[in-house]
Chain A
Amino acid sequence: MKQILIISGKGGTGKTVLTSSLAALAKAAVLADCDVDAADLHLLLHPVVKGTQEFWSGQKAVIDDGQCINCGRCLSLCRFEAIKALKNQDGSLKKIEIDPIACEECRVCYYTCPVGAIQMEDRLSGLLFISETKYGPMVHAKLGIAEENSGKLVALVKQKAQEIAQAEGKRWLIIDGPPGIGCPVIASLSGVDLVLVVTEPTLSGIYDMERVIDLAAHFGVLTKVFINKCDINWDNTRTIEEICQKRGIEVIGYLPFSEEVVQSLILGMPVVEYSKGMIAEEIITLWKKIEAIFQKEGKS
């Protein structure tokens, strides 16, 4: 089984559009949406959920008002501004409150409360879905608002997808990666056979592409670049080519800006199935190149 990860650094470059099209072309694939903060792949692949799993992660501090003696010790020790004092009108301390969003789960208040009024409570921080699409099984997730540990949920999504791919003897695992360069991206990179970096010829697109290429290089994963909306600024497209050449990274394909892409989004289908022309052809060519990479590898 070969794992292909599609990432971009910057959001909105066309990562999910491309992932959905590769999913449609691959056949014998398992799909994984690792953008657990703002998952979008389901809007194009329309998964039917077969199983849901709760994602419990982390423990937040919770205060028991009945036991709290308002001594203010936690207030002075918390370094994350997560403990707040509510005052009475005369300025005296009325009540101590913990802001679950600001809480970093360090447990300092829990350890130091002189009357044991603070407990650490497990929290449900997201849901994981195992689904079926017309292109194959799909694993996706939803992280709650203001929840951290998205790296951990990404790892879980990938692991489930790998298990399914192995059990069903699928040839491909196609992963829609998270944006940025942080922990979730690092989690999505592990064990991947090919990273496809989707970029666009804008200054911010280039800047973020370089950061994400650095990260992939750091992990020693085979990396290829795909330039989307290449005709928006040809000078910048050339700059991307030069950067890639210097680093010895192949630019594996291009797509021009196209209204067909927007139309396919609105209809909720992979653009490769919507487009009758050049857009579909370019993506089919890209997929053939990806297949060739691994065929070559298989022979040698």
Chain B
Amino acid sequence: MMISIASGKGGTGKTTVAVNLALSIPERGVQFLDCDVEEPNASIFLKPRIEETVSVSIPVPRIDQEKCDFCGECAKICAYHALAVLPKKVLVFPHLCHGCGGCSLLCPQGAITEQDREIGRVEIGHSNGIEFIQGKLNVGEAMPTPLIRVIKEKARRRGRWTNPASVTVIDAPPGTSCSVIEAIKGSDFCILVTEPTPFGLNDLILAVEVLKKLQVSFGVVINRSSMGDYRVDSYCQENHIPILLRIPFDREIATLYSQGIPIVQEKKEYIEDFRQMMDYIQELLPT
């Protein structure tokens, strides 16, 4: 089964929940996908051994200046303005290109072919028996979704997805954009991580909107639950959203986080909490 972990904004403890859940259920055969490709931070905690690196590219146009008659059609149809046609020259701006293939398809002279341009890398490895896959978007690139698609494709090929006993844990990017949706899409369940403050509530409501749109079942983890008010609780109650787990604020946990150490590695009592959360999720899902 596939469980994604998301939040309306960053810094709520999304990676903490994902990592500790993955480490608490070793017997299930866990696959961990870090889909937060702009800021992949799970490897700080899981310290995986990377065994394979895959370059991810998008196809960008290459102009055959011999065949080109400078008609300007490609520049006209390009929705991203990645091409400029001058009276005697065509210029390509690969960083603006989204790789849709429209120009090569529609060039009346057949003067456009495509070549690959790397936008990031997907790394595959292992950590404590967990199969680990993460994507890293190159700095300055604006398209995270193709990278997320490759991460999920690699995971699917490795087969554990189809095994109902195994669990694929997805650390999604924060927010409500397309990349979040690409990461969550296809999940059996989504865990939304929030904190009991007005900020946490505001961002939780945004995340809930996303999940309703995607029609994925979800529950909430309240992080730093001992510091705050009850508005998140009341919201969940009113909207019949299950609260899966509360992680109280604890200076020790904050310190462990700052050092890149998973909670369950030092505070074993939490293993049971995450295992119970997993059982609870399973109960919530239709069989």
Could you tell me if A37 and B177 are in contact, using CB atoms closer than 8 angstroms?
Answer: yes
Asked if A192 is at the interface (CB within 8 A of a chain B CB), the reply is no
Could you tell me if A145 and B199 are in contact, using CB atoms closer than 8 angstroms?
Answer: no
| Per-residue A-contact encoding for B187-224, CB less than 8 Å = 1, 0 else | 00000000001110011001001100100000000000
Q: A40-B9, A182-B38 are in contact. Are A265 and B197 (CB under 8 A)?
A: yes
Asked if A16 is at the interface (CB within 8 A of a chain B CB), the reply is yes
Which parts of A194-209 form the interface with B (CB within 8 Å)?
200-205, 207-208
Q: How far is the CA of A214 from the CA of B181 in the complex (A)?
A: 28
Partner of A106, one of B100, B199, B213: B100
Nearest CB of chain B from residue A122's CB, rounded to whole Å: 14
Asked if A115 is at the interface (CB within 8 A of a chain B CB), the reply is no
Could you tell me if B174 and A179 are in contact, using CB atoms closer than 8 angstroms?
Answer: yes
Residues in A neighbouring B255, C-beta threshold 8 A: 232-233
Partner of A202, one of B12, B106, B180, B258: B258
Asked if A259 is at the interface (CB within 8 A of a chain B CB), the reply is yes
Could you tell me if B11 and A181 are in contact, using CB atoms closer than 8 angstroms?
Answer: no
Asked if B139 is at the interface (CB within 8 A of a chain A CB), the reply is yes
Q: A111-B102, A204-B44 are in contact. Are A266 and B139 (CB under 8 A)?
A: no
Which parts of A113-171 form the interface with B (CB within 8 Å)?
143, 145-148, 150
Could you tell me if B210 and A146 are in contact, using CB atoms closer than 8 angstroms?
Answer: yes
Name the residue in A16, A108, A214 with the highest tally of chain B Cβ atoms < 10 Å from its Cβ: A108
Residues in A neighbouring B39, C-beta threshold 8 A: 9-10, 180-181, 204, 207-208, 211
Could you tell me if A150 and B258 are in contact, using CB atoms closer than 8 angstroms?
Answer: no
Number of interface residues of A (CB under 8 A): 55
Nearest CB of chain A from residue B66's CB, rounded to whole Å: 25
| Per-residue B-contact encoding for A233-268, CB less than 8 Å = 1, 0 else | 100100000000000000000000101001001101
Q: A106-B79, A107-B79, A146-B178 are in contact. Are A13 and B11 (CB under 8 A)?
A: yes
Could you tell me if A180 and B202 are in contact, using CB atoms closer than 8 angstroms?
Answer: no
Considering only CB atoms, which chain B residue lies closest to A108 in the complex? B102
Partner of A38, one of B8, B99, B101, B139: B8
Q: A107-B102, A214-B139 are in contact. Are A203 and B259 (CB under 8 A)?
A: yes
Additional 9 contacts, C-beta under 8 A, given A37-B177, A111-B77, A204-B15: A10-B39, A11-B10, A16-B199, A77-B105, A107-B102, A145-B213, A146-B178, A148-B178, A207-B39
30 A-B pairs with CB atoms under 8 Å apart are: A9-B39, A10-B10, A10-B39, A13-B11, A38-B8, A38-B174, A38-B176, A38-B203, A79-B100, A80-B145, A81-B149, A101-B213, A104-B100, A106-B98, A106-B102, A107-B77, A108-B101, A108-B105, A111-B77, A111-B102, A145-B213, A146-B181, A179-B10, A181-B39, A202-B258, A208-B41, A211-B139, A232-B255, A262-B197, A266-B228
Measured CB to CB, the residues of A under 8 A from B are: 9-13, 16, 37-38, 40, 43, 77, 79-81, 101-102, 104-108, 111-112, 143, 145-148, 150, 179-183, 200-205, 207-208, 211, 214-215, 229, 232-233, 236, 257, 259, 262, 265-266, 268
